[in-house]
Amino acid sequence: MELGLTYRAVFFALVLLPFIIKYIFNGFSINNKLGLIFVLLALLIEITFRQSGGTDYSNYKSLWDYIVGSPDLWRDRDYFEIGFLFYMRLLSTFSDSIFFYQFVTFLIPAVIFYIISRNLRLEQSIFVLVLYSSFIAPYYLNVVGQGLAIAFFLLMFMVLTIPRLFERSKAGSILLVSLSLHKSAIFASALFLNKRDTLILLIFVGAIISALLIYFGLENLVILAYSLGFGFSLEYDFEASVTFNDIAYRFAHLIIILFFAYVVESNSRLKYAIWIYIFGFLLFLFLIPFPVVALRTSLFFRSLELIIYPLIGSEMKHLTNRGIFSLALLAIYSVPFYLNWSNPLNLILI
């Protein structure tokens, strides 16, 4: 086992696992916040002072260096959303240090994670397990623009599920901000839909994609989508694929969620999150002919695992159920934990 992966495994065993064991025996408590705070602070320090790590690190660093040294904001406009470019420009007015940029870029999601975990009464040991295993490496070491959009997506969910004045207007404002940071945030608009609307939308999307596939064929349709600006790169779109394992893994999550949601008494917030999650899974299946889009879209909806599993965990009343639930999560998240942290590019700490 490589040194970096060994460190991650030791960190998990010595820091994360004790909090999960404490949850199994003691159950949910809103006051159990030290674990989440400690992990977020540890990640904040690591991400702030890293000088490499992540497949996309060099792209963001070169863009930061360019923005700091040039008045031209539009460089690489095709690869970075305008909101993210303005965000980097704003930060550069305070400091030209890459460490400052990295500090603020993870501080924002970290604060949002803490706020939603407290306001939604999430089981924080489960939240940390999901976050560390499945989301830190791909989003906060790599595609940080989408990482910010995901944090705002979860904030939208909180705003829409806590009855307050003008919650839909506030959520709409958050959507616009996140959309300016990463175009995948367009799927966050699904939070505004009810069950009837999502069913109609799924049928509509499925019918359109089926008709286009029948008329154009897959290869010509990918080329057309690329020419209209919907692709990432022709080579990437054709080489990427959605495997049976990709589908099976997402289906396994769905089974675990539905089973344990049945075990506990699902409140309206949990039911709402699960419905949007199912919508994302079905949309993923419809988009399989466009594998890059399907995978990136499904990853966006899968961020709801940061809310669904901790919500289920907070409702678990019996020790045996909490133990079985925790073991199921440890098993299924061992897959992304290994895949993410065994990548040498993700293992460099500082």
CA angle at 42 for the pair 39 and 47, rounded to the nearest 5°: 120
Span 224-229, average pLDDT: 53
The per-residue pLDDT for 234 is 43
Task: Quote the CA–CA distance of 106 and 111 in Å, as a whole number.
Answer: 9
- Asked whether the predicted pLDDT for residue 219 surpasses 60, the reply is no
Three-state DSSP state, 52? coil
pLDDT tens digits for range 5-52? 777 888 888 888 888 999 999 888 776 777 788 889 999 998 888 877
Task: Quote the CA–CA distance of 109 and 98 in Å, as a whole number.
Answer: 18
Task: Quote the CA–CA distance of 136 and 78 in Å, as a whole number.
Answer: 25
CA angle at 195 for the pair 194 and 201, rounded to the nearest 5°: 90
The per-residue pLDDT for 54 is 66
Q: Which residue has the tokens 């075990």?
A: 263
The per-residue pLDDT for 41 is 93
Task: Please report, as a single letter, which amino acid is at residue 180.
Answer: S
